[in-house]
């Protein structure tokens, strides 16, 4: 088994910058061409009257490409070095085929951007540089080709490097510059003697040092369901490929969008059962529970739940022949789902020549700009910078099925961002046994699943530690609430959500807590009748209070003042714990 890592490299440049020739030279110099392929290219070169073998024909696979001597489709070529297996994507230079450059760059570990030393930098070169930055390609090599046409002059190379750095400086790309002559072979697989002033790596040496981008494996687990498999009544599995992250047998998972939870019972790979899988593995999973999942549903970890959005901000490159403007109806293709949507607004348009943005009413073919979409169904789209696998979309014309644009989700303010930036102090009040502690724990688990900092301040826990010096008379109860409210206020000021579970029987005590915490205070009355809490009596306290063993027990020998106007009422006698959580979560977060 070949254990050398696979490195994906996209090659882009303007028309006639020499991309296909460069890749053909690389394949030729590394002995990566079959004899019959080379013979066919030599015959084609002779037939067209060329003096030397046209190595560009090795990657121009379509008949139209050879006839016009241009690249139209993305041509993928594979070759190996002693350390790497390299997959090259030769993308078109013509503006009308810019969408194919997007395709090649979307999964690339590195990009090679070609410039023609004799022509300099073109607008299409800058457009490709921007797309490379937009798609977060981690390494970028700028190959200044055709150095033979400028006499292998160091000053000519230096001028292009300086100009390119100045024009794309705002993109903060990780740039490396390389002077090459694809036609002559200088600095491709071996050094030539005509540029002794260059002391950096050759193209082949550069490729051999690229490490695969492992961000997909390091990202949160995302497994879109491709197919439900039910060959018989005793087996129910779900097939697909995790697009990011990893997971093991026995770990808990949550289904998006339903929110149902289960655990991984088994993972079946291409060679049999396995204990663990990661991004890129073709698998079938079994769950511990009988859950009906459908194509497009997604399995995630309960503590790594993505935001599910219907209003989406995108940066797009328009690739179709139809303009994008407010009101345009489209289909959003995201992973395995297609959802109807409408362009709500066009925010701006990029001017590639200056890298500046300007106001725009519409985006035309090859324009790059930012838009706002409103989808008919909420989708688990994440910012592209957080997860390249779930942050990309394609927009389709529903009338013609034409691809209109490709784009990435930008730095949108998701509901989880809003929750994190606007902490609350949620004060759960109610009789002992009403369910305050249970609901507070469930609420904190829900916030943690959204990566929101949170903490529980439970009355029983506080009484056993910080407030163990306090009694249960009115003065002691009031001081208990004052201290708790002060701690909650301090935690909230540091961005932490605080869920307080205290009986707090008197209205004056709850008003004291509200006055200390301020406008972020939420009073949630956990309602349950005295008969029901006495029936539950999980700690036997009501039995002891009714027998006279406990004195000053709220609801029996001490009053509980029902809130007159709480922010929300949760009836635990009428609702299940899950329904209580949904009601509270919906009120607090939406």
> Which residues are the active-site residues?
504
Task: Say whether 272 counts as a known binding-site residue.
Answer: no
Residue 471 CA to residue 481 CA, distance in Å, equals: 12
Task: Say whether 432 counts as a known binding-site residue.
Answer: yes
Strands 110-116 and 6-13: parallel
SS (H, E, C) 493-525: HCCCEEEEECCCCCHHHHHHHHHHHCCCEEEEE
Task: Say whether 437 counts as a known binding-site residue.
Answer: yes
Report whether 230 contacts 250 (CB < 8 A): no
Report whether 150 contacts 118 (CB < 8 A): yes
Residue 50 CA to residue 183 CA, distance in Å, equals: 13
Q: Which residues pair with 309 in a beta bridge?
A: 379
Give SS3 for 191: coil
In order of 364, 431, 460, 548, the CA distances from 542 in angstroms are: 72, 11, 16, 10
Residue 324 CA to residue 404 CA, distance in Å, equals: 8
Task: Say whether 430 counts as a known binding-site residue.
Answer: yes
Report whether 491 contacts 498 (CB < 8 A): yes
Cis peptide bond prior to 257, omega within 30° of 0: yes
Task: Say whether 431 counts as a known binding-site residue.
Answer: yes
Rounded to 10 deg, the angle between the 123-134 and 98-105 helix axes is: 30
SS (H, E, C) 240-283: ECCCECEEECCCEEEEECCCCEEEEEEEEECCEEECEEECCCCE
Name the residue among 473, 477, 472, 486 with its Cα closest to residue 515. Answer: 486
Residue 161 CA to residue 381 CA, distance in Å, equals: 37
Task: Say whether 106 counts as a known binding-site residue.
Answer: no
Name the residue among 514, 551, 553 with its Cα closest to residue 537. Answer: 553
Q: Which residues pair with 224 in a beta bridge?
A: 298
Which residue numbers belong to the known binding site?
430-437
Which residue numbers belong to the known binding site for ATP?
430-437
């Amino acid at each position: 088994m070949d254990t050398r890592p696979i490195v994906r490299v996209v090659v882009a440049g303007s028309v006639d910058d020499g991309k296909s020739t460069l890749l053909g030279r690389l394949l030729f110099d590394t002995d990566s061409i079959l004899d019959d392929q080379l013979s066919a290219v030599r015959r084609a070169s002779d037939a067209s009257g060329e003096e030397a073998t046209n190595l560009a024909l090795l990657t121009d696979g379509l008949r139209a490409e050879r006839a016009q001597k241009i690249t139209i489709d993305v041509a993928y070529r594979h070759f190996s070095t002693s350390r790497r297996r390299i997959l090259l994507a030769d993308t078109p230079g013509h503006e009308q085929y810019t969408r194919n450059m997007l395709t090649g760059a979307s999964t690339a570990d590195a990009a090679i951007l070609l410039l023609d030393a004799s022509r300099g930098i073109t607008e299409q070169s800058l457009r490709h540089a921007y797309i490379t930055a937009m798609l977060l390609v981690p390494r970028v090599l700028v190959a200044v080709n055709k150095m033979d046409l400028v006499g292998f002059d160091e000053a000519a190379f230096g001028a292009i490097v300086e100009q390119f750095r100045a024009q794309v400086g705002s993109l903060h790309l990780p740039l490396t510059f390389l002077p090459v002559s694809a036609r002559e072979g200088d600095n491709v697989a071996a050094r030539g003697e005509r540029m002794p002033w260059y002391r950096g790596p050759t193209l082949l040496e550069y490729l051999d040092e690229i490490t695969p981008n492992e961000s997909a494996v390091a990202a949160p687990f995302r497994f879109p369901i491709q197919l439900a498999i039910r060959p018989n009544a005793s087996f129910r599995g779900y097939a697909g490929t995790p697009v990011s992250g990893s997971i093991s047998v026995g770990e808990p998972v949550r289904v998006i969008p339903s929110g149902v939870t289960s655990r991984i019972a088994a993972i079946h790979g291409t060679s049999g059962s396995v204990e663990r899988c990661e991004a890129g593995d073709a698998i079938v999973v079994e769950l511990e529970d009988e859950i009906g999942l459908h194509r497009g549903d997604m399995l995630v970890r309960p503590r790594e739940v993505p935001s599910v959005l219907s209003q989406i901000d995108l940066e797009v490159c328009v690739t179709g022949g139809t303009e994008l403007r407010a009101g345009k109806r489209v289909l959003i293709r995201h992973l395995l789902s297609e959802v109807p949507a409408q362009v709500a607004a066009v925010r701006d348009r990029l001017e590639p020549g200056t890298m500046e943005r300007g106001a725009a009413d519409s985006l035309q073919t090859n324009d790059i700009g930012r838009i706002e979409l409103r989808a008919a169904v909420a989708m688990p789209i994440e910012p592209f910078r957080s997860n390249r696998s779930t942050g990309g979309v394609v927009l389709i014309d529903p009338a013609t099925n034409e691809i209109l644009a490709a784009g990435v989700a930008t730095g949108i303010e998701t509901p989880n961002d809003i929750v994190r930036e606007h902490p609350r102090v949620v004060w759960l009040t109610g009789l002992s046994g009403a369910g305050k502690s249970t609901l507070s724990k469930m609420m904190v688990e829900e916030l943690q699943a959204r990566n929101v900092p949170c903490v529980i301040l439970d009355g029983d826990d506080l009484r056993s530690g910080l407030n163990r010096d306090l009694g249960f008379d009115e003065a002691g109860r009031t001081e208990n609430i004052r201290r708790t409210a002060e701690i909650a206020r301090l935690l909230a000021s540091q961005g932490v959500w605080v869920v307080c579970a205290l009986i707090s029987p008197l209205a004056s005590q709850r008003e004291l807590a509200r006055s200390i915490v301020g406008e972020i205070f939420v009073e949630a009355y956990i309602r349950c009748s005295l008969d029901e809490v006495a029936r539950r009596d999980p700690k036997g306290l009501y039995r002891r209070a009714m027998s006279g063993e406990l004195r000053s027990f709220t609801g029996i020998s001490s009053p509980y003042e029902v809130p007159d106007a709480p922010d929300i009422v949760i009836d635990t006698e009428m609702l299940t714990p899950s329904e209580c959580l949904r009601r509270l979560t919906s009120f607090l977060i939406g």
